[in-house]
Chain A
Amino acid sequence: MIWQFDIIILIFLVIAAIISLRLKDLLGASMVFGIYSFLICLLWAEMGAVDVAFTEAAVGAGVSTVIMIATVFSTKRRSKD
Chain B
Amino acid sequence: MDPIVATFIEENIVPNFNYWIYVILMMIGLYAMITKNNLIKKLIGMAIFQTAIILFYVSVGVKDTAGIPIISHHGSEHHQMAGLSSEAGSTKEIHNKIDKDKYANPLPHVLMLTAIVVGVSTLGLALAISQKIYKSFGTLEEDEILNELRPGGHD
Residues of A within 8 A of B (CB): 1, 3, 6-7, 10-11, 13-14, 17-18, 20-21, 26, 29-30, 33, 36-37, 40, 43-44, 47-52, 55-56, 59-60, 63-64, 67-68, 70-72, 74-76, 79-81
- Is B48's CB under 8 angstroms from A75's CB? no
Contact of B55 among A40, A71, A75 (CB under 8 A): A40
Chain B contact-residue range equals 35 or more
Nearest-neighbor residue (CB-CB) of A79 within chain B? B38
Contact of A18 among B28, B36, B43, B59 (CB under 8 A): B28
A52 vs chain B, min Cβ distance (A): 5
Nearest-neighbor residue (CB-CB) of A10 within chain B? B21
Identify which of residues 39-62 in chain B touch chain A, using a CB-to-CB cut-off of 8 Å: 40-41, 43-45, 47-48, 51, 54-55, 58-59, 61-62
Pull 9 A–B residue pairs with CB atoms less than 8 Å apart, ordered by A: A3-B10, A17-B48, A29-B44, A33-B47, A49-B61, A55-B116, A75-B134, A76-B134, A79-B41
- Is A67's CB under 8 angstroms from B127's CB? yes
B81 vs chain A, min Cβ distance (A): 26
Judge if B75 is at the interface, Cβ distance under 8 Å.
Answer: no
Nearest-neighbor residue (CB-CB) of B70 within chain A? A50
Whether A64 touches B140, Cβ cut-off 8 Å, given contacts A13-B25, A75-B134, is no
In angstroms, Cα B24 to Cα A59, docked, is 23
In angstroms, Cα B8 to Cα A58, docked, is 37
- Is A80's CB under 8 angstroms from B62's CB? no
In angstroms, Cα B139 to Cα A7, docked, is 40
